[in-house]
Structure 1
């Protein structure tokens, strides 16, 4: 008798399947993205399984079956569900949708799994509801995911020459090849300083800034940095997402 593998992870996405079942995407530590059938949970308000198939709650589960689409076996909670509300919730749903669409199936990606858990923790602990202050969590996650999956060009060198990116020069970004030397009047130019700061993970202002003039300048620099990181991530992720829009982005507009 073949032993069932015990997996741990999170529900990313679920949708109706046939009359009483659901198709559920799990992100597991051991096997990455796993798509499963969960039988008999739709319309059954007394089902314990239904209450466990919630986003942002870590669960332990087993799979059964020989085909590519497995049946969910045992499932139980490993900890309390992350309490996300408002924009934090929308950001969590955005990350889940990105993972469901970008991850390769049945391939372990422990670095991304660790980043996912850290992002959920950061979202649950953030003290502000302002989207502009929450978005750096998304950018850091996106950049790490793209780097791990091999879709992020080198941020340290110019694509054509291999020369180091210089803070005072301007560059344009191409998702396939990387950063190209350009000028200030080009479409969507980035300074070398912004590129290097994104690579260093400098998404938020230094809390030690005390001078009012310096603090105001830091706020402007921070805004420029965040906008650039968002544009670069969107361009790079288009290779994985294709032309189909993300449904979770509509939540930010509606909210």
Structure 2
């Protein structure tokens, strides 16, 4: 049996058998799935998202056992839109991050993003930064200041995304294209440029879509449902 202690966050937890939970964890060593026994006790109270943890995992197979679970910092209290944003990040990681493949940079960026969400910082820049970092770490990234041929993005140019190759220049305005000035603003994370944040959201959706297997994100649908105005 292997045992390792490492920092962790819970991404998702669900009941398993009589008194256990099946938990997806994010660690520097990647995404791990483990059985947490006695989930109705003290350990179960820790098996919630956004709490910094120190966890010990045992076992050689894909399904580990939680040997120890301790708090490792102040819980990040997310409420309102920040909470749904955190749930969205967790779902992205479950859907995109391969099991047991180390991604320490993703873990560190996740920890910083969750803390920033808890501190009430602006949501959209945090989400776009996380999506971009995740794509890059998984090998799906592309340049924002160069087109697919390696030429500099022109401020006045128009571009569309080809997920296999990157940004391709187009000759005229058409649905789904991006203005060069928006792409250059994204490259510098300069969200003062009008339209840059909205364009970044569209770009990240296009970039993520092929890797989500055609299945919609539950967190995104739930968030949109809750934002719909009441019709009473």
| TM-score (normalised: structure 2) | 0.91
* 1:114 matched residue in structure 2: 108
Partners in 2 of 1:140 and 1:163 — Cα distance? 24
Aligned to 2:3, the other structure's residue is in SS state coil
The answer to whether the aligner puts 1:58 opposite 2:52 as a matched pair is yes
Output one character per residue of 1:125-146: Cα deviation in whole Å (capped at 9) or x when no partner: 226xxxxx42121001101111
Q: Which moved more, 1:12-21 or 1:81-90?
A: 12-21
Choose the corresponding residue for 2:153, options 160, 165, 171: 165
Are the aligned partners of 1:167 and 1:191 in contact in 2 as well (CA < 8 Å)?
yes
Matches within 5 A, 1:1-255: 4-29=3-28, 31-41=29-39, 44=40, 47-126=41-120, 133-159=122-148, 161-203=149-191, 205=192, 221=194, 224-253=195-224, 254-255=226-227
After TM superposition, give the deviation of residue 34 of structure 1 in Å.
0.5
Q: Which of structure 1's runs of 4+ aligned residues deviate more than 3 A?
A: none
Whole-angstrom CA distance in 1 between matches of 2:136 and 2:187: 11
SS of 1:179's equivalent in the other structure is: strand
How far did residue 156 of structure 1 move?
Answer: 2.6
In the alignment, which residue of structure 2 is the partner of 1:215? none
Q: Secondary structure at the match of 1:95?
A: helix
CA positional deviation for 1:57: 0.3
Structure 2, unmatched stretches of 5+, are 228-232
Aligned residues: 226
Q: Which residue of 1 aligns with 2:230?
A: none
CA-CA distance at 1:251 after TM superposition: 3.0
Q: What per-residue deviation string (whole Å, max 9, x for no partner) do you get for residues 202-224 of structure 1?
A: 23x3xxxxxxxxxxxx5xx1xx1
User: Displacement, 1:197?
Assistant: 1.2
| Structure (1 or 2) with the larger CA radius of gyration | 1
Q: Which sits farther off after the overlay, 74-83 or 188-197?
A: 188-197
Note the C-alpha offset of 1:84. 0.9
2: distance between equivalents of 1:77 and 1:36? 17
Please list every run of 5 or more consecutive structure 1 residues that lacks an aligned counterpart in the other structure.
128-132, 206-217
Deviations 1:164-203 (CA, angstroms, capped at 9, x unpaired) = 2111111111222111111342222211111111122223
User: What is the SS of the residue equivalent to 1:115?
Assistant: helix
CA contact (8 A) 1:183 1:189 kept: no
Q: Indicate the SS of the match to 1:248.
A: helix
| 1:3, distance to aligned residue in structure 2 (A) | 6.5
RMSD: 1.7
CA distance in 2, matches of 1:105, 1:34: 6
C-alpha distance 3-104 of structure 1, shift in aligned 2 (>3 A):
closer
Contact 1:143 1:233 (C-alpha < 8 Å) held by counterparts: yes
